[in-house]
Structure 1
Amino acid sequence: MASQARRAAARPCVGVTGSAERLSPSWLAIRSALFLVGARAVRITVRHPLAPEQLDALIVSGGHDIHPGLYGSQELPDKEYDLARDELEQRCIRLALDQRLPLMGICRGYQLINVVLGGTLFLDIRKLRRNTSNFGTVLPRKDVLLEESSLLHRLTGKRRLRVNSLHYQAVERVGANLRVTGVDRDHFVQALEPLDNRPVIGVQWHP
């Protein structure tokens, strides 16, 4: 038991924000991926309080749309919003940035990092697409072109990635201290990183 406790304590502790639903596929997938690379995942939702002193890094996961009021737009009809989650994740992102924790945003999480830093979103890009499909898929069927100077390029060793696509919103105005490091064939932003080389990555797809 003591050796197990020591091994657990030695693993980096990664906070994972997300939906408070009991069986969250996103949480289960991210937790499993972190376990496989030797990290310990800690769930953070409105039902699972944030314990910032425990965290070595933070992942802000995907989910429902961010409330458009956070970036000066109007609600879309018949859309679900989770204001409590929006508030919690904004606090988590600010905490990670203030403490310079490694931070990753996935889909909604990447969009929220942009919004927290003063950026905006396209409410719906489906009628704006010309070269990419509106068909959502978990399979890697969309091309993303990465900047050669990006952390993503250094990590993957690739200029072009094949990724999945489950979104109909996208980053419009880029937030303060962020730069575009990946775009799709319609030139919609697919990846963001900070200008000051902090350990932050945001991606529109689900790795």
Structure 2
Amino acid sequence: MTKPLIAVTTSRRSGWRIFPLVNLNLWLAGARGVRWVAGKPSDVRGVDGIIIGGGDDISPDLYGGEFITSARLDPDRDAMERRLVEEAIAEGKPVLGICRGAQMLNVALGGTLHENAYGVYTASDRYWTILPKKRVRICEGTRLAHLSGTETMKVNALHSQAVDRLGSGLCVAARDGGGMIQAIERDVEPFALGVQWHPEHLPYARRQRAIFRALVAAARAQREHRGQLHSVDMAAE
């Protein structure tokens, strides 16, 4: 049986460096990736799932926020990824959001962001590293907890924005010690999970590989017209 095909959105500027890392994690989980960038064809009907990758800040125009002069924006990518999330949910395709991607998942479903998250959550430890130094607490009873357990998780951090008001159908799956949201998920079909960190940089960590395995399990179930959430739960056993 052919491996599930997962589209991975990246920036035009730095995606050539990030995509191979994400694709490695997909390969380890039993899938294959294809890179999508703004301005090129991107049709959700041609793939089994989508990863919205990390990168520049999301424009506040998408959620009624205030512009921060230091922010680096990519309006073309914003428009593409918002459309892809909306279409993926409508078509029943699973979605994984990574850092910016978690924020885009929230915005595309009607939520908002904190543009300067650490200005709001002053008790949150601020890191800017691909090394797993930041501690996050997984919320009990969530699908992420079923995948990775509820023990405090050490992750990396490369973000300045964070989820504020939740989008439709989303719930909080993890927070850091200062209360800042670090993961969100849907509790109804199709499967959708957004993590504020970058699991693609941590392929040696079992709990991070579980995130990609969950997406692949959901993508395979979608292709075979089976329940995605049940398939994800079974893959986590």
- TM normalised by structure 2 equals 0.79
- Any residues of structure 2 matched to 1:6-85 within 5 Å, and which? 10-21=2-13, 24-85=16-77
Instruction: Give the Cα separation in 2 of the matches to 1:128 and 1:157.
Output: 28
Q: CA deviation at 1:47?
A: 4.2
Cα RMSD of the aligned pairs, angstroms, is: 1.7
Q: Amino acid of the residue matched to residue 186 of structure 1?
A: G
Larger Rg: 1
The match for 1:192 is: 184
The match for 1:4 is: none
Instruction: Give the Cα separation in 2 of the matches to 1:52 and 1:69.
Output: 24
- Any residues of structure 2 matched to 1:58-137 within 5 Å, and which? 58-137=50-129
The match for 2:202 is: none
Q: Amino acid of the residue matched to residue 11 of structure 1?
A: K
Instruction: Give the Cα separation in 2 of the matches to 1:22 and 1:45.
Output: 11
Q: CA deviation at 1:23?
A: 5.6
- TM normalised by structure 1 equals 0.89
Q: Amino acid of the residue matched to residue 35 of structure 2?
A: R
Unaligned runs of 5+ in 1: 1-6
Instruction: Give the Cα separation in 2 of the matches to 1:72 and 1:53.
Output: 30
Q: Is the 8 A contact 1:132 1:142 kept in 2?
A: no
Instruction: Give the Cα separation in 2 of the matches to 1:129 and 1:23.
Output: 30
Identity among equivalent pairs (%): 36
1:112-143 deviation line (CA, Å, top 9, x unaligned): 11111111111102333443322311111111
Q: CA deviation at 1:148?
A: 2.1
CA 121–186 in structure 1, closer or farther in 2 if over 3 Å, else same: same
Q: Amino acid of the residue matched to residue 39 of structure 1?
A: A
CA 144–135 in structure 1, closer or farther in 2 if over 3 Å, else same: closer
SS at 1:94 equivalent? helix
Unaligned runs of 5+ in 2: 200-237
Q: Amino acid of the residue matched to residue 101 of structure 2?
A: G
CA 22–130 in structure 1, closer or farther in 2 if over 3 Å, else same: closer
Q: CA deviation at 1:22?
A: 6.7
Instruction: Give the Cα separation in 2 of the matches to 1:62 and 1:48.
Output: 18
The match for 1:156 is: 148
2:197 is equivalent to residue 205 of structure 1? yes
Instruction: Give the Cα separation in 1 of the matches to 2:159 and 2:49.
Output: 25
Q: Amino acid of the residue matched to residue 147 of structure 2?
A: L
Instruction: Give the Cα separation in 1 of the matches to 2:51 and 2:21.
Output: 12
Instruction: Give the Cα separation in 2 of the matches to 1:166 and 1:23.
Output: 15
Q: Amino acid of the residue matched to residue 99 of structure 1?
A: E
The match for 2:157 is: 165
Q: Is the 8 A contact 1:147 1:159 kept in 2?
A: no
Q: Amino acid of the residue matched to residue 46 of structure 1?
A: A
Q: Amino acid of the residue matched to residue 136 of structure 2?
A: V
How many aligned positions are there? 199
Q: Amino acid of the residue matched to residue 27 of structure 2?
A: F
Q: Is the 8 A contact 1:134 1:168 kept in 2?
A: no
Instruction: Give the Cα separation in 2 of the matches to 1:201 and 1:133.
Output: 23
